[in-house]
Amino acid sequence: MHGPVPVATAALPSVPAGFTGRDEDLGRLLRVLDPTAESDLPVVICAVSGLGGIGKTSLALCAAHKAVRDGWFPGGTVFVDFRGYDDNPVTADQALLALLDGLGVRGSDLPQTSTAQYALYRRLLAEERRPMLLILDNASDPVQLTPLIPGTDHHRVLITSRDRLTDLDARLIDLDVLTSQAATDLVDKSLRLSDERDDRALREPEAVAGLAEVCARHPLALRIAVGMLRKRRHRTITSLVDELRTTEDRTERLGVRPIFEAAYSQLPADQARLLRLLSLAPAAEVSGEVVAALAGLAAGQAFELLEELASQHLVTPSPGDAGVRWRLHDLVRAFAVAVVAADAVFVEEGDAARERVLEFYCRWATAADALLQRPPEVPVEERFPTRGAALAWLDGERAGLVAAVQLAQEEHADVAVRLGRCLDAYFRWRRRFDDWTTVSRATQEAARRMGDGVGEALSWHRLGHALQETGRVTEAIDAHRQALGVFRATKDGDHEAQAWDHLGSALRRAGRLQEAIDAYTQARDLFRAAEDRHREGFAWNNLGLCLRQAGWTREAIAAQTQACDLFRATRDPSREATAWNNLGVTLQLAGRLQEAVDAHTHARDLCQAIEDRISEGTAWLCLGGALQGMGRVEDAIDAYGTALEISREVEDWQEAGMALENLAALHMAADDLVQARAHYLEAADAYTRDNARDLAARAQACADSLT
């Protein structure tokens, strides 16, 4: 059964007021429509596709109006709405009748059979030598369109569809959501079109940006939201944003739910299931592996379903160096989450999917973590043949891993704690301290829910480290004292020793050196009593740093030498390299420069052997300082240059700034002020990228002094 025959209009419908933000897409479309442009296609067809309400018809009409104004289609235009996503879409035969009517064929002139009607339609188009534009709007299936494509190459056909019509020989233009700027422009223009005195967008710029995001920069949702504001002229934009953020189903409140219901109802069962499960993914954008884990499917099956959903613009692929990742439009996600919540069977299905994806993350995060911390000769999972491979996987899944810990902290607290622990080394390696803070707070809450006092205290430890690295030293001291209190109360000597060691580091960072020395000494003595030589090495290393900072250089050298020996004896090349670097810096302060060069060289070699690029960069930087102290300027420049190259590679912008400042100082000493100023400016930029504003200001001041 089909609906009524559509009406074909020669007069183009108007473009919605406030249409904005599609300049690039409009340019692409016009280049295809231009009848004077050469093309290797037999008929130039352009198909604009995108999510329902994304603005496909508006773009098509904007392009058509401009083309008509420029005189491109003297043969005329014909517009037909195919109602492709209604219950009774228009058939090709029905559209043919509308097109013939638009071409002036009606009444007794209309042939009685469809075969004769198609023949007449093709003859009329062939005889019309002046270019015409056919706009076939809102089509859902190539079957609706194929019989209607002109058989000549001087006419143009413009199609809009929610599906990518890949079966047509057409130029495909995919329409995405608006940019943030275009979305805010739409709100401003639409309000002022209604009332030129409406200056709410000007008075509430942050709220306008919030409205754009809560509507997911979806044009139809934005227009409906603006309609709400127009009805209540004195309502603030902020109040609407707050209302939408707390609404259980934004798609319903914004009036766009029917669009998604129609698309969802037409999906095969396996695609509909995957769409529901994708809405429950921990992160907004996920890899194909995560999708496969969610759905319990083989990777190939998941990929095929994802491609089908992407062709209907319900899922968006994001190609990258590590492969394609997939994301749901925010409003599609909100719709699918509501669908799941409304059906007990779907809720159970979603719970099973979450458990699968958490297990996936735990399995591979554990393997990657083991590789980051292993000695080189220890066997590894085949999946991660090198540390680089493990880091690449962790980099790609970082957002999902962080979100998974937060997702698990209530109903899967044990998994949250286990997964959070696996990420500590990674966060240190990549200096992801904000993520470390987030995960530590989540695992702390998860451990508390389980009644796991030791786990909660260990999370306090990790939180203290993360806070310390972000400069929140007072909070870090409090966190470590919280952990220490738990361990002393439970007479857990091993963990108490670690707590003293960590507390010492926070106190040292705060400049409370005597308290720090006392804490490190407590830790050292407890580790020694427990015959834990590895952790005793940590305490000696940290004690050496504190003694050096206090000006007790000889004692610091003795402590750091002990640390080197202990880490070598316990076969931890990563920590041994760090200890050698620290010893080298102290030797420089003592004027023992050749010994310092040897220490930093040994640290560098250890780092290269275990593929620790971050620590290798530090070793090169410290080596440059020792070489510079010896007057070996060219060697120092090479060392600083290598440190700079590595720091840029691993995005350690603070260390990059330090290398650049050292290079600048060497060029200043050589009276090369132009190069020195350039390095200071680069250093200021590097520090700015690391949010180290004081260091950036210092480097900028040095550059300015050389102007």
Residue 184: band (very low, low, confident or very high) from pLDDT cuts 50, 70, 90: very high
> Do residue 41 and residue 150 come from a single domain?
yes
Parent domain of 262: 258-373
pLDDT in tens, 446-494: 998 888 888 888 899 899 989 988 888 999 999 999 999 888 887 777 8
> Do residue 235 and residue 265 come from a single domain?
no
Q: Return the pLDDT at 154.
A: 83
Q: Return the pLDDT at 616.
A: 93
Q: Return the pLDDT at 677.
A: 92
Q: Return the pLDDT at 384.
A: 83
> Do residue 228 and residue 270 come from a single domain?
no
pLDDT in tens, 164-178: 888 888 889 998 889
> Do residue 207 and residue 344 come from a single domain?
no
CATH number of residue 342's parent domain? 1.10.10.10
> Do residue 45 and residue 152 come from a single domain?
yes
- Among 34-48, 123-137, 300-314, name the one with the lowest average pLDDT: 34-48
226 within some domain? yes
Q: Return the pLDDT at 388.
A: 80
> Hey, what are 323's tokens?
């492969």
Q: Which residue pairs from 588-593 have beta carbons closer than 8 angstroms and sit at least 24 positions apart in sequence? A: 588/625, 588/626, 588/629, 589/548, 589/553, 590/553, 590/554, 590/557, 593/626, 593/629, 593/630
> Do residue 100 and residue 211 come from a single domain?
no
560 within some domain? no
pLDDT in tens, 381-412: 677 888 788 888 999 899 999 999 998 988 89
Q: Which H or E run includes 46? A: strand 44-50
To the nearest whole percent, how much of the chain has pLDDT over 70?
A: 97
The count of domains in the chain is 3
Q: Quote the crossing angle between the two packed helices 553-569 and 533-549, to the nearest 10°.
A: 160
> Do residue 224 and residue 107 come from a single domain?
no
DSSP bridge pairs for 171 = 46
pLDDT in tens, 620-646: 999 999 999 999 999 999 999 999 999
Is pLDDT of 605 > 90? Answer: yes
340 within some domain? yes
384 within some domain? no
Give the whole-angstrom CA distance, residue 452 versus residue 460. 12
Give the whole-angstrom CA distance, residue 437 versus residue 445. 13
User: Following DSSP, what letter does each residue of 320-389 receive, concatenated?
Assistant: -TT--EEE--HHHHHHHHHHHHT-HHHHHHHHHHHHHHHHHHHHHHHHHHHHHHS-TTS---TT-SSHHH
Do 587 and 544 touch, CB atoms closer than 8 A? no
> Do residue 111 and residue 139 come from a single domain?
yes
> Do residue 164 and residue 189 come from a single domain?
no
> Do residue 169 and residue 80 come from a single domain?
yes
231 within some domain? yes
Do 543 and 551 touch, CB atoms closer than 8 A? no
Give the whole-angstrom CA distance, residue 162 versus residue 314. 9
545 within some domain? no
Residue 228: band (very low, low, confident or very high) from pLDDT cuts 50, 70, 90: confident
Q: Is 153 helix (H, G, I), strand (E, B) or coil?
A: coil
Q: Return the pLDDT at 1.
A: 46
CA distances from 551 to 389, 514, 582, 589 (A): 42, 12, 14, 10
> Do residue 153 and residue 35 come from a single domain?
yes
CA distances from 242 to 191, 236, 257, 329, 674 (A): 19, 10, 20, 20, 53
Residue 192: band (very low, low, confident or very high) from pLDDT cuts 50, 70, 90: confident
Q: Angle at the Cα of 606 (from 602 to 611), degrees rounded to 5? A: 145
Residue 607: band (very low, low, confident or very high) from pLDDT cuts 50, 70, 90: very high
> Do residue 158 and residue 200 come from a single domain?
no
Boundary (domain end) residue, out of 175, 204, 235: 175
Q: Quote the crossing angle between the two packed helices 453-469 and 493-509, to the nearest 10°.
A: 20
> Hey, what are 376's tokens?
């080189």
Boundary (domain end) residue, out of 326, 355, 373: 373
Do 512 and 482 touch, CB atoms closer than 8 A? no
Residue 586: band (very low, low, confident or very high) from pLDDT cuts 50, 70, 90: very high
CATH number of residue 138's parent domain? 3.40.50.300
